Amino acid sequence: MVATPEQFIQLQKSALEAFHSATITSIEGLEKLAALNVQAAKASIEESTEALRSMSDVKDAKALADLASGTVQPATDKVTAYYKHVYEIANETGNELARLLEKQFAESNRQVYAAIDSLAKNAPAGSEGMVTLVKQAVSAANSAFDQVSKATKQAVELAEANISAAAKTTVAPRAPRKAA
């Protein structure tokens, strides 16, 4: 399919650029996730320290129970927010990688069609049927890729809707129990 060394070199450059872009996108996603984890760890340490200070000031069991029940909902909200941020980072990175893949796929298709056209021009008489067969096979593969891509996008959209709905659902705080 590659007719000249220049085409081969251009193909290699294109593949290298695609790999570079995908690697940088992945690393940027990891950086965002690492920053989120550092931020969450710092907040957790601060909150734990404050909770221990508050617990040391407690004088009776009712005050301890009130303190414990008062921290459940904020903790649940923080965990929900953390996982929402993780999901957003993963989704953003995945979308960027998918965009890069689609771009690379389109470029590869352009090169394949150019090679088929070049092959057709230089093919011996009577081989038009074979060239047509190759073009149809490439078109069928592209159609299959498009269908899988659309189905994947629909599944991702459904998952996003479900996660969004789940994130909106919150756990109501429990009322403190009365001592018997």
* Residue-range domain boundaries for the chain: 11-168
What digits encode the pLDDT tens for the residues 151-175? 877 887 787 777 777 767 654 444 4
- Note the pLDDT of residue 112: 77
What digits encode the pLDDT tens for the residues 107-125? 888 877 777 777 778 778 7
Q: Which residues lie closer than 8 Å to 103 by C-beta, 6 or more apart?
A: 18
Residue 89: pLDDT above 50? yes
- Note the pLDDT of residue 32: 95
**Intra-chain end-to-end CA distance of the chain, in Å:** 84
Taking CA 90 as the corner, what is the angle to CA 84 and CA 93, rounded to the nearest 5 degrees?
A: 140
Mean pLDDT in residue range 10-24: 87
Residue 42: pLDDT above 90? yes
- Note the pLDDT of residue 180: 46
Closest C-alpha to 73, from 178, 177, 179, 175: 175
- Which span out of 39-48, 139-148, 160-169 was modeled with the highest average pLDDT? 39-48
